[in-house]
Amino acid sequence: MPYKALTSILFFLLLATCVVSAQSQKEEEIIQLEEATVAGQKQESQAGIGSKTTRISKAELKRNATRSLSELLLETTPIQIKSMGQGAMATASFRGTAASHTQVLWNGISINPPQLGSFDFSQVPIYFVDDIALYHGGSAQKGGSGSLGGTVNFTTDHLSVTKPYVSIISEYASNNTFTEALNLRISKGGFTSSTRAYYQQSDNDYRYLNKVYSKDPFMERRKDADYKQAGLMQEFYYESTKGDKLSLIGWWQYDDRSLPQSIIVNATASEQSQSSNIRTMASYESMRNAHHWKITGAYLDGTLDYQRQFGEMDKTENHNLNRSWVTQANYSYTGINRLNLAANFNYRYDYIKSNSVEDGKQSRNTFSSQFTAQYKVSNRLDFEGQTTLETIGDDPSIIYNISGRYRAIDEYLTLKASNSYNHRNPTLNDLYWAPGGNPDLQAERGYSWDITAMSEPQFWGIYLLLEATYYHMDIKDWIMWIPKGNGYIWEPVNFSNVISQGMEANATIRFSTNNTRHIITGNYGYAYSVDNSSRGDNTKGKQLPYIPRNRWNAGYKLWVMDKIWGNYNASFTDVRYTSADESYETNAYTIHHIEIGYDFKLSNTVKSSLSLKVENLFDTYYESTQYYPMPFRMFFGRLSFTIN
């Protein structure tokens, strides 16, 4: 408690200093520069004004349209992606936390599965995404609690068109990988319809180096790793002459995967999983003078079937059904000088049916109400406070976020700070898994603060963005699964207290020369995330498993006469320990990708683009998950058409 009190006092002293400094300066008009990573309309923020936020540009989304969200985040952000291989499960974690501490929002609605908790980012095609924002830390609380590490919010946009718009993408890649995508968009009056379809399949029999079975490594191909993925999204939007907006969105996503064995397992087993997710959403939004309100209802339905065959007699089947009903109401008022007020009410009912939980089915109700006040002290200084009351069953709790932003030297220096308390409730698997679930688990509690310095100068036709953040997180009652009794049964317990601290930095340089445009980007993350518990073993003070201390990526993009373009990307992942006592580890690795493309017109209404991409350019051997090798060099050829 003394430590938390000290950090809170220091936090408020920093902001108080900013207040005194701001009030002593002459107020003046501040012209906000557009963020380099943003193109088009920005989504509504899910976090405080002083929180660290990362946005991914429309150009990056377009370039990666055939990839998954996990692949895009790995190349363009400092967050950690843990993948089982191409087309396989991939999870994300912020700031040295676990995958279950990452909240995932679709148009502001949480879509984390209530049974498992962690979200599979490989099941989100970028083709179905129009905007992505990452909120670092526990400050994004509009979707409820749970984001101890951070939040990813991806959205679809109401993009009206004057004439029917058609987009077609066809891609062929190594290992017999096919990808097809289609988008049809029409508008008439205030009505817009958008239909998107996506399909990808792969034999996925990539080459890898086997370093396990022999002292002399040898090449072989991955077996039983094929997959199919299909998706369909239908969107309807209507905007009245008064500005009222109505939207109806439906998204179906299907995955059929063979699950390859770890290369250390010298046995033949067949594993298969099929998942199907139906996500629907309806919302109504209206603005009258200073009043703005939005009502949203969502229904989420997910199934996961798993089969494992070992020999002729040993067969395991597992069937899981997750359903959620969500209702959300948002209201904001801007009629008071310098003060903006907002309220958010959220009700959620989760239901699961599985042969792996007690009684075969479980459910829970969650209600939360959030109140936000944002005060503009001057043209340079803003404060924001958020308080959320959340009730799960009969257990109430409160979370909060306080943040501030100070524009110290026009576009040359902006300071931001945030202090938050958040928690994550146990998943339904944690509570009711049979055997091993623990209904007495307590919620994980996270206290965090961060400070950010940002500069966005422009000179000599060069745009420059520099941003650096220091953060500190203290997470109590971290839930871990540990062996029970003779070790055949595992159970979750509130076992660990974790301290995670580090820094995040990013830079963008954008400039033009004659007929060329250039963008250079870089992201760096340092995470010192250690178990601070005293359990009498050799784990105290050790880095958490699969959390690298250092991670960075860098990219260079070039356009020539707006027809020829190229992209080069490199990403580095540091050593990751695979055991709690740091006795086992995976090697550090750097992966390089290169891509070139050519855009051309076939007619006044038909545009086309041809591109070639090489991933893992230098044939680097690496493992994202221990004993699950990733592909060597892969080639991708893409042809796309747009008709408008």
Q: Does the domain spanning 2-643 belong to CATH 2.40.170.20?
A: yes
Mean pLDDT of 465-491: 88
Task: Say what percent of the chain tops pLDDT 90.
Answer: 70
pLDDT at 261: 84
Beta bridge partners of 299: 280, 325
Residue 383 has pLDDT above 50, yes or no: yes
pLDDT at 41: 43
Residue 30 has pLDDT above 50, yes or no: no
Task: Please report where in the chains the tokens 């320990």 appear, as a residue.
Answer: 577
Residue 88 has pLDDT above 60, yes or no: yes
| Strand blocks (E) in 427-461 | 444-455, 458-459
Beta bridge partners of 135: 53, 151
Query: With a threshold of 0.75, does the pTM exceed it?
Result: yes
Rounded (10°) CA dihedral 538, 543, 544, 550: -160
Task: Say what percent of the chain tops pLDDT 70.
Answer: 91
| Strand blocks (E) in 145-210 | 150-155, 165-173, 177-188, 191-202, 207-210
Q: For residue 38, give the nearest of 644, 510, 628 by alpha carbon.
A: 510
When pLDDT is cut at 50, 70 and 90, the band that residue 68 belongs to is very high
Q: For residue 502, give the nearest of 470, 474, 524 by alpha carbon.
A: 470
Alpha carbons 447 and 424: distance in angstroms, whole number = 12
What residues does each domain of the chain span?
2-643
pLDDT averaged over the chain?
88
Residue 17 has pLDDT above 60, yes or no: no
The answer to which of 209-213, 234-238, 357-361 has the lowest mean pLDDT is 209-213
Residues 109-136 have pLDDT tens digits of: 999 999 999 999 999 999 999 999 999 9
pLDDT at 45: 61
Alpha carbons 607 and 600: distance in angstroms, whole number = 6
Residue 18 has pLDDT above 50, yes or no: no
When pLDDT is cut at 50, 70 and 90, the band that residue 87 belongs to is confident
When pLDDT is cut at 50, 70 and 90, the band that residue 639 belongs to is very high
Distance of CA 303 to the CA centre of its chain: 22
CA angle 320, 326, 330 (to 5 degrees): 155
Exposed/middle/buried for residue 9 (C-beta within 10 Å: 0-12, 13-18, 19+): exposed
pLDDT at 482: 80
When pLDDT is cut at 50, 70 and 90, the band that residue 47 belongs to is low
Coil/strand/helix, residue 465 = strand
When pLDDT is cut at 50, 70 and 90, the band that residue 267 belongs to is low
Alpha carbons 456 and 414: distance in angstroms, whole number = 9
Residues 158-211 have pLDDT tens digits of: 888 889 999 999 999 999 999 999 999 999 989 999 999 999 999 999 988 888
